[in-house]
Structure 1
Amino acid sequence: MDKVFQRVKTHRNGDEMAVDILAINGEYAVLIEAKSTLKIEDVKEHLERLEKFKTFFPEYNKRKVVGALGRIVIEEDSDKYAYRNGLFVIGESGDTAVILNDNGFKPKGW
């Protein structure tokens, strides 16, 4: 990724969209939602955000958009739900963050 932005907000037609972390390069825009405890409802909200992203951020219309969820604690098998819905799942490994998806994972594009 060439650029990483934190807490990005925009407004369109009286609605607001906020993205915790937006990472971009010439080909991709990655929307990352960061949660201390990840629940299935958080995954659903992020999927809705991804569906609306290009409406709120038309400057990224030519990029492939993928989603990721960073978390410390997982509840309700929300990591599996995110995986099945095409999202990257990011977790901790020592002092660094790692992508937890296996090699067979195929991210969904928006």
Structure 2
Amino acid sequence: MPELKERVDRLEEAMMRLVYIQQKTEMEIQALKQEMKEFKDEMLEFKNEMKDFKDEMKEFKDEMLEFKNEMKDFKDEMKDFKDEMKEFKDEMLEFKNEMKDFKDEMKREVRRINKQWGELSNKLGTIVEDIVLPATRPIIKKYFKCDPDTLMANVEKKLNGKTEEWDVIAICKDKLFLVEVKATPRVEYIKQAKEKATKLKEFFPEYKDKEIILIFASLSIKEDILNKLTKEGIYAMAYREWEYMDILNFEEVKKISLEN
């Protein structure tokens, strides 16, 4: 009997272990199933995400293809634009060259006409009225910053039985300009012009408070005469390269005046 009881006990123990193992196995199987389910769910989610990613990549590729096509069209347009700009630049360069030739031709023609007009005025004795007088006002405005109130040509006045003549007189608020004109400038004419300037206030006492500015004018002035005028502090007015009447030594005379 004791032996039988011992066998029964071992059998019960074995059965309990078997039940335990079975229950443990079932728990592990359930846990495994749960893990598998979670894994499948994750895989499904990943699959869906991959599908969305593929769709996005496809959309991106389509957009890139469209952008590539647009860039190709843009490049083609830019190439056409560059070609058009090159043609335009070539045309503008050609036009510029033509305009330069035209301007050079016009300058030559202006010089020729001015020279002929000056020679004709010399012959007719109308150099003052035709050339010097029309140029006096703009030259005074340009260099002396005043617009003459009075501008007279071939001024003649008598005083105490004496008669004096001046070619051009221009009057500003505080300045009186005397423009003496010579068809053929000579050194001795410079002294005569200075003497005429000194007589102005004698014959026109109403202008005694004004500064007298002497301008020696001709169609052209040689370098030696120009240098003499500059040393004397006298402005020289003549054609500049037969293009326009101008003061040829303004800065030099102005510098001398400031030094004195």
TM bin, normalised by shorter chain, reads 0.7 to 0.9
CA contact (8 A) 1:39 1:75 kept: no
Shift of 1:85: 1.0
CA contact (8 A) 1:35 1:71 kept: yes
Q: Which amino acid is 1:39 matched to?
A: R
Distance between the aligned counterparts of 2:217 and 2:204, measured in 1?
Answer: 22
Shift of 1:84: 1.0
The residue that corresponds to 1:13 in the other structure is 160
Shift of 1:76: 8.2
Distance between the aligned counterparts of 2:174 and 2:222, measured in 1?
Answer: 33
Q: Which amino acid is 1:65 matched to?
A: I
Runs of 4+ in 1 over 3 A off after TM superposition: 73-76
Q: Percent identity?
A: 27
Closer, same or farther: CA 75–105 of 1 in aligned 2, 3 Å = closer
Structure number with the bigger relative contact order (C-alpha 8 A, sep ≥ 6) is: 1
Closer, same or farther: CA 17–76 of 1 in aligned 2, 3 Å = farther
Q: Is 1:78 aligned with 2:225?
A: yes
Corresponding residue pairs, total: 108
Shift of 1:95: 4.7
Shift of 1:96: 2.6
Larger radius of gyration: 2
Listed one character per residue, the Cα deviations across residues 29-56 of structure 1 (whole Å, up to 9, x for unaligned) are 0000111211111111001111221001
Structure 2: state its 5+ residue gaps: 1-147
The residue that corresponds to 1:100 in the other structure is 248
In the alignment, which of 182, 186, 196 is matched to residue 49 of structure 1? 196
Scaled by the length of structure 1, the TM-score of the pair is 0.86
Distance between the aligned counterparts of 1:22 and 1:101, measured in 2?
Answer: 20
Q: Which has the higher helix share?
A: 2
Listed one character per residue, the Cα deviations across residues 46-67 of structure 1 (whole Å, up to 9, x for unaligned) are 0111122100111211111110
Shift of 1:102: 4.3
The residue that corresponds to 1:88 in the other structure is 235
CA contact (8 A) 1:2 1:25 kept: yes
Distance between the aligned counterparts of 1:71 and 1:64, measured in 2?
Answer: 23
Q: Which amino acid is 2:161 matched to?
A: G
Listed one character per residue, the Cα deviations across residues 86-105 of structure 1 (whole Å, up to 9, x for unaligned) are 11100113453100014232
The residue that corresponds to 2:22 in the other structure is none
- What SS is found at the alignment partner of 2:233? coil
Q: Is 1:25 aligned with 2:172?
A: yes
